């Protein structure tokens, strides 16, 4: 059995997990999120953009057909699903079965010069209900909204210095309130206060596309250059594998997203030539 990770955090790949019906195909798998019932929601650029599986990989359902222009990020909090659409310049809030509840941004209309949104990439919720949106491809900004959904403030600009971004590709809010931003083309994760004050950064990553923190404070980073890293909250690497493009089970071509379930099993989605979802069972 081929194992991945490290002595402290071991996994085995579950080959063939998440198979689609014969006539379906995965488009670029750009988002994955797990709800409180351990149902895995895979967001991809195919005909059926949100497909839902149980932990065994059996298809439970799908939704979102015809809704999205270019799916880019998915986040689940409680009974709600948030989907970011980069080409449509929107963030949408749904029920778990795809009922639309709210839309931020004007579909098809971009917000230039720092205004929300111009090709946004992903979002996350803070413990107090605030929402943070990475406005990655067009604006190089992060926008903050309060629990009521009203815009509070915006920070960032294009660049390589502290507090600047070159494609803020994903955002996560730790339970202590710190905002973590995957600054993809700067190969780092930056940390900010809830108001956007720069605090710190982790460097040495390989085009980080997503950042996800589990309940044990393990930080999972999907790196577009064929690697997945797991770090602790001090920035120390706990487990890391990949680094050379490979379509073999357990390795990667272009990881774009990662999330874990209640058992600690890890789900990694790939875009570009990979375009698949892989499950890693924690040992």
Task: Please tell me the predicted confidence (pLDDT) of residue 274.
Answer: 83
Whose structure tokens read 């393990």? 218
How many Cα atoms sit within 13 Å of 238 on the Cβ side? Answer: 16
The mean per-residue pLDDT over the stretch 183-209 comes to 98
Residues 255/12, Cβ–Cβ less than 8 Å: no
The mean per-residue pLDDT over the stretch 42-67 comes to 97
* Reported pTM: 0.97
In the CATH scheme, what architecture does the domain 3-282 have?
A: 6 Propeller (2.120)
* % the chain with pLDDT above 90: 96
Task: Please tell me the predicted confidence (pLDDT) of residue 60.
Answer: 98
Residues 81/34, Cβ–Cβ less than 8 Å: no
Task: Please tell me the predicted confidence (pLDDT) of residue 2.
Answer: 79
Cα(199)–Cα(207) distance, integer angstroms: 20
Residues in CB range of 41: below 8 A, 6 or more apart: 32, 33, 34, 35, 50, 51, 52, 74, 76, 81
Task: Please tell me the predicted confidence (pLDDT) of residue 113.
Answer: 83
* % the chain with pLDDT above 70: 100
- Tens digits of residue pLDDT in 160-179: 999 999 999 999 999 999 99
| Residue 242, phi then psi, degrees to nearest 5 | 95, -160
Cis before 36? omega within 30: no
Confidence of residue 1 (pLDDT cuts 50, 70, 90): low
Confidence of residue 185 (pLDDT cuts 50, 70, 90): very high
Burial of 144: CB neighbours in 10 Å, binned 0-12, 13-18, 19+: buried
Residues in CB range of 199: below 8 A, 6 or more apart: 178, 191, 192, 193
- Tens digits of residue pLDDT in 202-257: 999 999 999 999 999 999 999 999 999 999 999 999 999 999 999 999 999 999 99
Q: How do the domains of the chain map onto residue ranges?
A: 3-282
Task: Please tell me the predicted confidence (pLDDT) of residue 52.
Answer: 98
């Amino acid at each position: 059995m081929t194992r991945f990770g490290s002595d402290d955090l071991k996994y085995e790949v579950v080959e063939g997990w998440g198979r689609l019906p014969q006539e379906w195909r995965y488009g670029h798998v750009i988002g994955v999120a797990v709800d409180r019932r351990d149902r895995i929601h895979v967001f991809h650029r195919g005909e059926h953009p949100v497909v839902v599986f149980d932990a065994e990989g059996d298809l439970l359902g799908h939704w979102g057909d015809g809704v999205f222009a270019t799916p880019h990020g998915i986040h689940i909090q409680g009974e709600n699903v948030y989907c970011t659409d980069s080409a449509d310049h929107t963030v949408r809030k749904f029920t778990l079965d795809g009922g639309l509840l709210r839309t931020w941004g004007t579909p098809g209309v971009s917000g230039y010069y720092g205004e929300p949104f111009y090709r946004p990439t992903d979002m996350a919720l803070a413990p107090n209900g605030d929402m943070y949106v990475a406005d990655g491809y067009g604006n190089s900004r992060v926008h903050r909204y309060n629990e009521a959904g009203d815009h509070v403030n915006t920070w960032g600009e294009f660049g390589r210095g502290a507090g600047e971004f070159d494609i803020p590709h994903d955002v996560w809010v730790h339970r202590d309130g710190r905002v973590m931003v995957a600054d993809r083309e700067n190969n780092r994760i930056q940390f900010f206060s809830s108001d956007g004050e720069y605090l710190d950064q982790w460097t040495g990553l390989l085009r980080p596309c997503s950042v996800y923190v589990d309940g044990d404070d393990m930080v999972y980073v999907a790196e577009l250059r064929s690697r997945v890293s797991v770090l602790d909250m001090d920035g120390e690497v706990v487990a890391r594998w990949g680094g050379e493009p490979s379509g073999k089970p357990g390795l990667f071509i272009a990881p774009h997203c990662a999330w874990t379930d209640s058992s600690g099993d890890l789900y990694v989605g790939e875009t570009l030539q990979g375009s698949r979802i892989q499950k890693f069972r924690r040992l």
